[in-house]
Structure 1
Amino acid sequence: MMIDCFIPFADKESTSQTIQLFQSCPLIQNIHILYTGETPNISLPNHCFLLKVDRLTSSNTMLSISDSVQSSHMLLYFKSTPPELSYKALHRMAQHLEDPTAGMAYSNYYEIKDGKVQKHPVIDYQIGSLRDDFDFGPLIMFNSKAFKDAVYDVFEGGDTLPYAGWYAVRLFISIHYRIIHINEYLYSQIEEDLRISGEKQFDYVNPQNQKVQKDMEQACAFFLAEYEADISPIKEKLDLTKGDFEYTASVIIPVRNRVKTIKDAIGSVLSQKAKFKFNVLIIDNHSDDGTTEAIDEFKENPLVVHLIPERTDLGIGGCWDYAVNQPNCGRFAVQLDSDDLYSGPTTLQQIVDKFKKEHCGMVIGSYRMCDFNLNTLPPGIIDHKEWTDKNGMNNALRVNGLGAPRAFYTPLIRKIGFPNVSYGEDYAVGLAISRSYKIGRIYIPIYLCRRWEGNSDHALSIEQTNANNTYKDSIRTRELMIRKGLGHLRNKMFDDETRFLNEGRKAKELEKSINKQMKMWTLAKSNHDNLKDVSVDEIKVDGIPMMIQFNPARMVSTGAKVDKKSIEKRPCFLCESNRPPQQQVLNTMDGLDILINPYPILPGHLTIAEQKHIPQKTIDPVEDFIKLFVIIPDTYAIFYNGAKCGASAPDHMHYQAVPIKYIPLIKFYESNKIEKELIDRKENIWNIEKERTYLEARLYKVTNYLCPLLCLEFDNDIDCNSMLQCVLESLPVHENEEEARFNLIAWKIDIEKIAVIVIPRSKHRPDCYSAKGDKQLMVSPGALDMSGIIVTARQEDFNKIDEKEIKHIIKECGLSKKEMEESIERYEQTEDENNEFDDEFDNEFDIDDYWNKYGNKLPN
């Protein structure tokens, strides 16, 4: 193992000392001196080379380093003064990189401040360690392949990052390799930045660093896209009218032992001029320095609510959680720290106005840094203008804070909850909210953040800074994994049309037809493209996974009027003469036109319409339902919505099809969690002595789904139409209706076998569909809803539907257990009359003889 070393040129003396230091290590093969501007006038020993760069951390520099590396490992040193290496320091780093999964290693070190040597421990790297100021120390070693891979991955497209090249490279290394923290003190270096921690932490919002920060944001965006954890801007408006609140706003002040500042904070709230009712909830966390008595001075004021929790283990987050769940908490909960002030009497009004204007889940203001006497401290105004509506929710993972004052929509924050910690609790909930809801920003200072010697983050020890950073990195890691999971969920459910089709002639033909149709029909393409950004939530109902989808485009179906009078008034949109001219037939079979659905639930959503205008009634042409597998790829499931079971065109016979992989019920059915009971079994055996061909069909009752189901599994070559028809005819028929209420969903279990699930229905729509006010949920279940994809066309329905509601809707619309048993009894009574298999068998075979002779050789 040999190492190429890269060091910055500082001055002739310091650089010569650094070269001599590294050349004394036998592992160092080459040393490259990085310089900008004029070529340094320095005499170089053997195996030392000058490498001109534009900036030490730029993308061009990273590319130059990658091209120059000749050894299996490389070392980057970022300081201008030479380090002092501990015993075999580089050997220890190299040892940790012997692991082929390790891409980068860094260690603790000693720092020399004002001539004094002190320990500088660093923290473990997590995948969520996205801060661009993460402290690796100035000496870092790499597996050269890992470094080169990352440089190629991030810059292969020609992207340039003048400031954030190094930051981007280490992010991309972390995707495929481990970044190792060596918990040993392997070197010493002179610390030149002597500012206290309270000053350093605001570098990322300093206007002087704006160009650097924009570059860092771009690098982080590259990483999030590659890691599939980036999210799109939130477009939907949040309903802010939920619940009954006496107060429009409540100011929340958690406090412990702030006798010097608490009365100023309370006075700041009471000075607010607002057009609405507000109060202040002070969570006194068992103060013992006179703070409690200071608060009691306001007890005659009805707006001041003094709360002392029974628990003694609450951090700031726990106090916030306690406060927002109080019955007298207002619709909006607004932050005020116990040692800070509002900058003027309109702060509350501005915050509430922002909520109402933008319908956001959280509002964050701007503040001015000041001392206890309100004199401005550097960097002055903290406005977080790096936040943009386009990318703020992603960039929030990179920056170390979101700003102040923070305010929350109370029903939402009650649902999310605060972690019971005293650092980072606001950042954690801010990330969670930004994932799914818009965050409103106020860019003028409405808050005064007072820094003074008693302030909790004025000047922190390295140990406390590390603890804080480790916790925030853990928050980022959790949030990153959630967003990545949501990204996978969206990709799994709403990927491009061309990606969900498997190889094979049918798949390629359909793919080609869909692509052609999308180019010709803007509406269909737009609605399919929008599927990538629809909100999706996953929930388990009685252990069964369900997907909830917010899809506004589906309002045309969800809200469709399907009564006879309304149907007669409108032209049939499935008839060829009434279709939009842009809508083309993708394929045709036996009088059925295959079309792209312009208002899709899933990518590639197909509508399969009868060419003739005949009612939605599938008992007679049930064979068409099965024959569709001849031209529909095996990656698709075909489904049928009865006229009173989700069909938005009950006057025109049609089926639909979507990719199998998106349907929770199919995944559940094919898992080992399904419980089913055999009701009937038919077999067909012929030419036994020559081919011993064995075909069968089995009818099952599924016993552990949310509503009763029947499933027919059969081999491709067996004629099961009469068996399926017998099942459908055994279901109860409502008065004045021609067909029983049911949904069908069919798919190929494997190349030889098909499954058809029958979802018997008792109701068209649940009672909540037509309910009034808050009780209304506009969910109109079709086959996909009953199969686990609950489609909501309104934001308020998506927000409030939960496990209990889903279970109730599916049970209410499905058949009762009693009705299912009665249907099975009718099936068993009539199967002999309607089953075409038995007549065929009985004329040729004595089944008992064949089973006695061949049963031990046939599958069970």
Structure 2
Amino acid sequence: MRKTINCFIPYEENTAIGKAVTALKDSSVVNKIYLLRVTEEPALSLPSGCEILTIDSLNSSDTIKKIAQKANTPFTLLYTKTSPFELGYMALERIVSFLQDHETGMVYTDHYEWKEGEKKKHPAIDYQPGSVRDDFDFGSLLAFRSEYLIGAADSMENDCETYQYAGLYATRLFIAEMGKITHINEYLYTEVEQDNRLSGEKQFDYVNPRNREVQIEMEQAFTRYLKRTGAYLPPNFKKVNFHTEVFANEASVIIPVRNRVRTIDDAIRSALGQKTEFPFNIIITDNHSTDGTSEVIARYKDNPQVIHLQPERTDLGIGGCWNLAIHHPQCGRFAIQLDSDDLYSSPQTLQTIVDTFYKEQCAMVIGTYRMTDFNLNTIAPGIIDHKEWTISNGHNNALRINGLGAPRAFFTPLLREIGVPNVSYGEDYALGLAFSRTYKIGRIYEELYLCRRWEGNSDAALNIEQANTNNHYKDSLRTHEINIRKSYSTQYKNNNRNERKIQNKRFIKEQFADWKLAGDNLTALKNVLVKQETVCGIPFTVQHNPARMVSTGAKVDPQSISDRPCFLCEKNQPEEQRTRCIGYHFNLCVNPYPILPYHITIPHTEHHEQVLPLDFCESINLIFSELPSEYALFYNGALCGASAPDHLHFQGVPMENIPLVNFYRQPDTEKTLLLSNNKVTVDETHKKLLINSSYLYYINHYACPLFSIEQYHDGKKDESLFENIMKALPCSNTEPEAKVNILAWQEDEKQTILIIPRSKHRPECYSAEAGKQMLVSPGTLDMAGIIVTPRKEDFEKISAADIRQILQEVGLAREDAQEIIKKYRKQNRL
């Protein structure tokens, strides 16, 4: 047969990999064997006939790119462990036969494993669209059609995706998006299994704090996948009205049970011991217990708080028992979980959960629990708090992980409407996905619940067949959910954008009208002193705006920042300030100290430092899709005018008031073209061509050097031009990004991004001695032609020459700009 496979095998000294290498060399289809090593030190004993490929780690994007560079045969084999393995008879030939299908990008197979001295079967499950969790069990031997592997590497390179841990995961997601991942239901190799933990221990690896960096990368890769495939949902949650119905009880503790005579009494007493400011009851669905459980529950028959349900039906799983309980006429406004094995960890658990519903206006609340043995001693992994959850992306990342936490609580009318799947595994996960699709989920990160592990638990030690059945079911839930979310996302994009623009414009005006501080400062703008100064032939506006002293005079040193609460975080904002979600990860709110009429601020929903996001072009594209059309966006770098350098945010003002926008739009403005980038892609969904054109320019005839990017795009914005010019700007090793101001606006299909490089934060006059001092701290709008002077003496004193000196002092020197152009052209081989 033709040699069609290059093989890549991790190699460490003193590992018994030699037998496997010999078998590969003897195969008629193997072309080359590469041994992957994480050290450049010479190998002491290297199998003959192999080449060394030095890598940083097996799962990094850099490793995938290195493998792709060596993938010069139709197919590529990758083994993902350093332990020995043995190929079955004619196994590679069988794998190749499946890879002949041009739509198949990757195959995996069943295998045998040596475990605790015994050879056992290890079957896999079929891959489906919902098999997106990063711990999907493919086994250790993966085979690729090389064109798909190379495509994945190119995609990460083009999108500037760099992963230390998620490279292989991102590769698999790309292949699943572009082609098929095929399961061969045959036992084609044998490996040594070194992880002998029980299934109940392995399932918590993803919440282990030691794995946090890994999980952050996995979430980043997965979120990009959801955005590419149209399954990503922005955090636009429906509001919940808790008073649509009258309830006799504010809460009900729901306990489904079957044959838990050893634990049910503890659970009931734990629930009855709750101290609350509201009435609650306990609804126990006793699912035909035969071990004395029913008799234990019957002891509470005279307690009006305890309702003992004994269904006539015999086909109820745990989910069916929940449905029976929540439809009982005495069920409370909130239905709160308590499994028959478990306990509440304090008498305040119910009160804490109900308070969270009202405080966060959410439809579902999930708490934190601690793993214990039967005697309540803490066991590994201890506290399970799911702190990976974020308000902006938790509802998307929920599709990647295998559980959401406990205890779970629900707003009963919505739970009745959605319904609980009548199964005994995964029903809670199904509800979490369904609720998070539309409604906000509240999180409590203090311990509320004790989850007892004992020999009677149903999921403490599952065999491979049962674990596969459970995982297949959860994957099917994800498949169903992803399909629904794609339709939601499409509807949101197609139908809501114009409406969102209108709503957001109305919101801005109403907020300025309703919030006295913002409204008074907006009115004051009509009376601020202004004058015109011509700088390099361009009319600059000088504005005396005393209210802006809060920004111009802001202390932005690390100590001052750490000493004050972040005023862009929602929890610290004034009571009068309201927000609206815009784009995917940002909030829209008005700026109470406006420079121009209807000045807005767009902070990230999470507290991140003021550093441009990796998907900057796509982020502002999404914001523009919902922002009133007359607005321009701008960005002040952390040391370029940002008064909140600790929180990522953009700002926006109507573009007609910005001198630099008017200057740039003039047909005679001289622009030097540095690079053009034209792409034609195919929208398979709508069967049409997408024309994507990008142009990078240098502008030399402004008060300071500028770069601009013009993009004419039907589809996803191209990040490469922006990424490359940002990399070319000077940046010290102590700074997270180059000093820069950015101004952007959207007109029909054309998006313009102006990049204003900076050399320093503030001009010398800012800290000069009395008489020479002028408190001018340039941000984007100052650099764009609106000089803000909070002090009247500065307003009266500043001249065109002063403005030119300030902009040239804090902007980039023209000779430095020329060096950047040379560097950029060299990097891009222009």
TM > 0.5:
yes
Specify the SS of the correspondent of 1:440: strand
The answer to whether the 8 A contact 2:20-2:86 is kept is: no
- Separation of aligned partners in 1, 2:49 and 2:346: 65
One of 462, 468, 477 as aligned partner of 2:464: 462
Partner of 1:777: none
Query: 1:162 pairs with 161, 164, 172, which one?
Result: 164
TM superposition shift of 1:42: 4.8
Once the two structures are TM-superposed, the CA of residue 215 in structure 1 deviates from its matched residue by: 1.1
1:126 aligns with 2:162: no
Cα separation, 1, equivalents of 2:493 and 2:430: 25
**Code of the aligned partner of 1:308:** Q
**TM-score of the superposed pair, with normalisation by structure 2:** 0.60
Task: Give the C-alpha shift of residue 236 in structure 1.
Answer: 4.6
Shift of 1:242: 1.4
The question of 1:405 aligning with 2:422 is answered no
Deviation string, structure 1 residues 555-600 (Cα, Å, up to 9, x no partner): xxxxxxxxxxxxxxxxxxxxxxxxx999xxxxxxxxxxxxxxxxxx
Distance 1:522 1:115, change over 3 A: closer
Separation (CA, whole Å) in 2 of partners of 1:223 and 1:407: 30
Mapped pair 1:386 → 2:388: yes
Q: Following the alignment from structure 1 to structure 2, what is the Cα–Cα distance between the partners of residues 523 and 425?
A: 41
The within-5 A match list for 1:744-823 is none
Q: Does 1:27 align with 2:3?
A: no
Distance in structure 1 (CA, Å) of the matches to 2:350 and 2:45? 66
Matching residue of 1:253? 255
Distance 1:192 1:605, change over 3 A: closer
Letter in 1 for 2:236: I
1:442 aligned residue: 444
C-alpha displacement of 1:605:
11
Residue matched to 1:296: 298
Aligned to 1:110: 112
Deviations 1:425-469 (A, max 9, x none): 010011000010000000011000000000111100111000000
What letter matches 1:99 in structure 2? D
Q: Residue 16 of structure 2: SS of its match in structure 1?
A: helix
* Aligned mate of 2:227, from 221, 225, 228: 225
The one-letter amino acid of 1:322's match is: L
- 1:400 is displaced (CA, Å) by 0.5
Confirm whether residue 7 of structure 1 aligns to residue 45 of structure 2.
Answer: no
Identify the residue that residue 61 of structure 1 maps to in structure 2. Answer: 63
Change beyond 3 A, Cα 1:526–1:110 = farther
Question: Alpha carbons of 1:9 and 1:342: their partners in 2 closer, same or farther (altered >3 Å)?
Answer: same
Distance 1:226 1:174 in 2: 12
Q: Secondary structure at the match of 2:83?
A: coil
Mapped pair 1:367 → 2:366: no
Match of 1:176 in 2: 178
Q: Which residue is 1:140 aligned to?
A: 142
Which residue of the other structure, out of 304, 313, 320, is the alignment partner of 2:315?
313
How far the C-alpha of 1:15 sits from its partner, in A, is: 3.8
Superposition deviation, residue 492 in structure 1: 2.6
Q: Of the candidates 210, 216, 226, which is equivalent to residue 214 of structure 1? A: 216
Task: Supply the AA of the counterpart residue of 1:130.
Answer: V
* Aligned counterpart, 1:426: 428
Aligned with residue 452 of structure 1, among 451, 454, 461: 454
Corresponding residue to 2:474 among 467, 472, 475: 472
Is the Cα–Cα contact under 8 Å of residues 505 and 628 in structure 2 kept in the other structure?
A: no
Tell me if the contact between 1:258 and 1:291 (Cα under 8 Å) persists in the aligned partners.
Answer: yes
* Contact 1:493/1:603 (<8 A) preserved: no
Residues 334 and 407, structure 1, Cα contact 8 Å, conserved in 2: yes
Q: Which residue of 1 aligns with 2:325?
A: 323
Deviation string 1:205-243 (CA, Å, 9 cap, x unpaired) is: 111111111111111111111111111123553211111
> 1: CA distance between counterparts of 2:224 and 2:598?
41
Q: Please say which structure displays the higher CA radius of gyration.
A: 1
Alpha carbons 1:154, 1:172 under 8 Å: kept: no
Q: Please give the alpha-carbon distance, in whole angstroms, between the structure 2 residues aligned to 1:266 and 1:345.
A: 13
The answer to whether the aligner puts 1:240 opposite 2:223 as a matched pair is no
> What amino acid is the match of 2:354?
V
The alpha carbon displacement at 1:552 in A equals 9.7
**Which of 278, 281, 284 is equivalent to 1:279?**
281
Q: State the partner residue of 1:185.
A: 187
The answer on whether the counterparts of 1:332 and 1:352 sit within 8 Å (CA) in structure 2 is: yes
Contact 1:12/1:42, CA 8 A, preserved across alignment: no
- The CA deviation at 1:47 is 5.6
Tell me the CA shift for residue 143 of structure 1. Answer: 0.4
Give SS of 1:39's match: coil
One-letter identity of the residue aligned with 2:346 = G
Secondary structure of 1:295's counterpart equals helix
1:97 Cα offset (Å) = 1.0
Q: Quote how far apart the aligned CAs of 1:490 are.
A: 2.0
Taking structure 1 as reference, are residues 313 and 525 closer, same or farther at Cα in structure 2, changes over 3 Å only? closer
1:309-343 CA distance string (max 9 Å, x none): 12110000111111111111000000000010000
Deviation at 1:38, TM superposition (A): 3.1
Q: Which moved more, 1:45-54 or 1:17-26?
A: 45-54
Q: Is the 8 A contact 1:237 1:358 kept in 2?
A: no
Verify: 1:195 aligned to 2:197, yes or no.
yes
Aligned amino acid, residue 269 of structure 1: A
Residues in 2 aligned to 1:46 and 1:37: alpha-carbon distance in whole angstroms: 19
Cα distance, 1:298–1:272 mapped onto 2, change above 3 Å:
same
Unaligned runs of 5+ in 1: 498-513, 528-550, 554-579, 583-601, 607-860
Alpha-carbon spacing, 1:53–1:277, altered in 2? closer, same or farther (3 Å): same
Match of 1:332 among 317, 331, 334: 334
Q: Which residue of 2 aligns with 1:74?
A: 76
- Structure 2 Cα separation of the partners of residues 525 and 275 of structure 1: 37
Q: Report the Cα distance in structure 1 between the residues aligned to 2:86 and 2:183, rounded to whole angstroms.
A: 19
Structure 1 residues 443 and 581, CA, compared in 2 at 3 Å: closer, same or farther? Answer: closer
Q: Which residue of 2 aligns with 1:149?
A: 151
* Residue aligned with 1:14, SS: coil
- What is the letter of the counterpart of residue 343 of structure 1? S
**Deviation of residue 494 (structure 1)?**
3.8
Which whole-Å deviations, capped at 9, do the CAs of 1:180-225 have from their partners, x for residues lacking one? Answer: 1111111110000010111100000111111111111111111111
Q: Judge conservation of contact 2:283–2:306 (CA < 8 Å) in 1.
A: yes
- CA contact 1:318–1:419 (8 Å) conserved in 2: yes
Partner of 2:355: 353
Counterparts of 1:569-718 in structure 2, within 5 Å, are none
> Residue deviations 1:354-403, cap 9 Å, x none?
00101101000000000000000001000000111111001100111000
Aligned counterparts of 1:42 and 1:22: Cα–Cα separation in 2: 21
Specify the SS of the correspondent of 2:382. strand
TM-score for the superposition, normalised by structure 1: 0.58
Per the alignment, in what secondary structure is the counterpart of residue 420 of structure 1?
coil
Deviation at 1:102, TM superposition (A): 0.5
The structure-2 alpha-carbon separation of the partners of 1:92 and 1:32, relative to structure 1 and needing over 3 Å to count, comes to: same
Shift of residue 161 of structure 1?
Answer: 1.1
Q: Which amino acid aligns with 1:11?
A: E
CA contact (8 A) 2:18 2:47 kept: no
CA–CA distance in 2 between the matches of 1:117 and 1:179?
A: 27
Deviation at 1:145, TM superposition (A): 0.6
Are the counterparts in 2 of residues 10 and 81 from structure 1 also a CA contact under 8 Å? no
- Shift of the 350–71 alpha-carbon distance from structure 1 to 2, 3 Å rule, reads same
Structure 1 Cα separation of the partners of residues 626 and 246 of structure 2: 40
The 3-state SS of whatever aligns with 2:302 is coil
Give the unaligned 5+ runs of structure 2. 510-578, 582-596, 600-624, 630-830
Distance 2:357 2:473 in 1: 30
Q: Displacement of 1:139 after TM fit?
A: 0.4
**1:383–1:443 contact (8 Å) kept in structure 2:** yes
Aligned length: 519
Moved more, 431-440 or 142-151: 142-151
1:246 touches 1:330 (CA, 8 Å); kept in 2? yes
In structure 1, what is the Cα distance between the partners aligned to 2:82 and 2:321? 47
Any idea what the Cα deviations from partners look like across 1:75-98, whole Å, max 9, x if unmatched? 010111221111111111111111
Q: Distance in 1 between matches of 2:493 and 2:277?
A: 46
In 2: Cα distance, 1:470 partner to 1:381 partner: 27
